[in-house]
Structure 1
Amino acid sequence: MMTDLAAGIRYVVLGQRWLAQHPGRYGRALLPALIALVLYAAALLVLLLNAGALAAWITPFADDWDSPWRGLVRGLAVALLLAAGLSLTVLTFTAVTLVIGDPFYDALSAAVEESEGDCPAGPERPLWRELWAAAVEALYVLWRATLWTVPLFLLGFVPVIGQTVIPVIAFAVSGFFLTLELVCYALGRRGIEVKERLRLLRGRRWLAVGFGVPLVAAFLVPVAAIFLMPGAVAGATLLARDLMGAGPAPDAEPEPGPAPGPDLTKPAPARP
């Protein structure tokens, strides 16, 4: 567990270092995250301005409660709404950014693999199909993440554990699914569908958590998300190569080699 957690954190650093060593790849990769940041900043501002009304709407049972209990419950509801909004922002921010920046990030991921050697060619599809596939995969990941987010949101109302254990679990879940989104280019290039990617990461879940959680924490700082996203894609590409053993695409045919010759290290059999 600890080894995989440390390895995941290391891939975060390696991805950022790769971008620092290849600054020519950095500029264009910033644009998708910048566009997504403007959209999400507006959405979070709307949530913040309406959080009180939403808290009152989801806690009608507290209408007749005396002070300070009504205020405490609704204050907790506001905090949980904002926490859920931030959590969903982290998850969907990456998905939307990856859809917007699909051509940029795919080229960046391929450049990382070429620098490491053994870059699969990947399927050749028109741009509209690439964008459609990216959107469908993003919705699938969001749906799977929501299956965790909603129960964790409700458990946040439980005293004590809702304010201690549940936020830690929520961060780990967010980190795992963030990693699932970011490995899409390297694993998709190998013909691995999103459900199989999920299975692969479950087998190395602490590696995925170790990679994703630092990025989740960093992405809570809005400006940081813009500058860290290209390095996150680069680091996820390196992580995906680890998952696959840096091997060729699963469907690739092995290249024919020379015909085996005699083993000159063994003595010739005795003649009768």
Structure 2
Amino acid sequence: MRDLAAGIRHLAHGQRWVARNGGAYGIGLLPALITFVGYVAALVALAFWAGDLTAWATPFADGWGSPWQGLFRGLLTAVLFGGGLLLAVLSFTAVTLLVGDPFYEAISGRVDESEGGAPPAPGLPLWRELFRSARDSLRVLLRVAAFAVVLFAAGFIPVIGQTVVPVVGFAVSGFFLALELTGVPFQRRSVPLRDRLRLLRGRMGLALGFGVPLALAFLVPLVAVFLMPGAVAGATFLVRDLMPYEESGAGDDGDEGQDATPSVSVPE
């Protein structure tokens, strides 16, 4: 329970931090807004053309009589749009982080600087950082898709599908949301995806306390846009909790040294 409460505190702390740093909030709002507008446009287009796409993909049903043709194609159209909506929900955070990588890296760096005891930026070229972010996001989305298929199938089990499965679904969504958002500060610390997963699994309560409230909030349209900057800041506080750094002392010439040493143990 202590870790669960700590995760919620990190999320709230991140929102308070961006509220006190208006410039950081404005920087982080832009990528989320751009992504949201793009997704809305894509979903509107899908809703407009889904019927035509279904008719094009099912020429064998052209000769079917009424009402079977309409029922069949109507069902496929609903499944097509529902799948597009699910894909949008699952991928929104990953795409937003990819679009806004330089902006969110700046927010995470400012949080680290304001708190002290943080490692320097990796100094990689922008294209390399974007490639690494896209690769990790794809790996996370594949894991999310695998869980989504299992949970969708389990949803047809009587009673359990209507009670246990939704709770497990929000827990899974919250965990992977925490994994995606902590990607920015973890990359700053050069932690590979495999070790990020181990760290968050080792502190599952912390990850769920941070991610589940966000997953619930993101169900409301536009809320994700306004919470994203604070979510990135909160994820940085969470990573600092997982990976505390110790600064060594000043050099012989009187200048303060910035040799930060990570003290972290990655559970197997």
What range is the shorter-chain TM-score in? 0.7 to 0.9
**Distance verdict in 2 for CA 1:85–1:218, change over 3 Å:** farther
Residue 35 in structure 1 maps to residue 34 in structure 2: yes
- Cα distance in structure 1, aligned partners of 2:154 and 2:210: 25
CA contact (8 A) 1:12 1:235 kept: yes
The secondary structure found in structure 1 opposite 2:124 is: coil
Tell me what 1:66 maps to.
none
Number of the residue aligned with 2:121: 122
What does 1:21-170 correspond to in 2, within 5 Å? 21-45=20-44, 50=50, 82=82, 88-170=87-169
Aligned partners of 1:167, 1:46: CA distance in 2, in Å? 29
Q: TM-score, normalised to structure 1's length? A: 0.77
Report if the CA contact (8 A) 1:6-1:210 is conserved. Answer: yes
Distance (Å, rounded) in 2 between the aligned partners of 1:44 and 1:174: 21
2:191 is paired with a residue of what secondary structure? coil
| Mapped partners of 1:46, 1:92: distance in 2 | 18
User: Partner residue of 1:191?
Assistant: 190
SS for the counterpart of 1:221 is coil
2:66 maps to: none
Q: Deviations over 1:40-76 (max 9, x none)?
A: 223444666759x98xx9xxxxxxxxxxxxx9xx99x
What CA RMSD, in Å, does the superposition of the two structures yield over aligned residues?
Answer: 3.2
The structure having more radius of gyration, on CA atoms, is 1
Moved over 6 A (4+): 254-258
Match of 2:245 in 1: 247
**Structure 1 residues without counterparts, runs of 5 or longer:** 58-70, 259-272
Give secondary structure in 1 for the equivalent of 2:245: coil
Deviations 1:160-191 (A, max 9, x none): 22122111111110100000011112111111
Worse-superposed segment, 84-93 or 135-144: 84-93
The one-character-per-residue Cα deviations of 1:7-46 (angstroms, maximum 9, x if unpaired) are: 1111111100001111121112111101111122234446
Residue 106 of structure 1 and its aligned partner are, at CA, apart by 0.2
Q: Which runs of 5+ in 2 are unaligned?
A: 58-70, 253-268
SS in 2 for 1:164: helix
Rounded to whole Å, the distance in 2 between the matches of 1:43 and 1:153 is 24
Q: Which amino acid aligns with 1:247?
A: Y
Residue 6 of structure 1 corresponds to 5
Q: Hey, what's the Cα distance between the residues in 2 that align with 1:202 and 1:87?
A: 25
CA contact (8 A) 1:37 1:222 kept: no
Q: Which amino acid aligns with 1:238?
A: F
Q: Is the 8 A contact 1:18 1:234 kept in 2?
A: yes
1:86, CA displacement in angstroms?
5.3
Q: What residue identity is the alignment partner of 2:167?
A: V
* Percent identity of equivalent pairs: 57
| Count of aligned positions | 238
Q: In 2 relative to 1, CA 136–103 (structure 1 residues): closer, same or farther, beyond 3 Å?
A: same
Distance verdict in 2 for CA 1:86–1:205, change over 3 Å: farther
SS in 1 for 2:235: helix
* AA aligned opposite 2:132: A
Relative to structure 1, the CA distance from residue 179 to residue 114 in structure 2 (aligned partners, 3 Å threshold; closer, same or farther) is same
2: CA distance, partners of 1:255 / 1:129: 33
Which residue identity is paired with 2:35? Answer: A
The Cα of 1:85 is off from its aligned counterpart by: 5.6
Which amino acid in the other structure matches residue 36 of structure 2?
A: L
Tell me which amino acid in the other structure corresponds to 2:173.
S
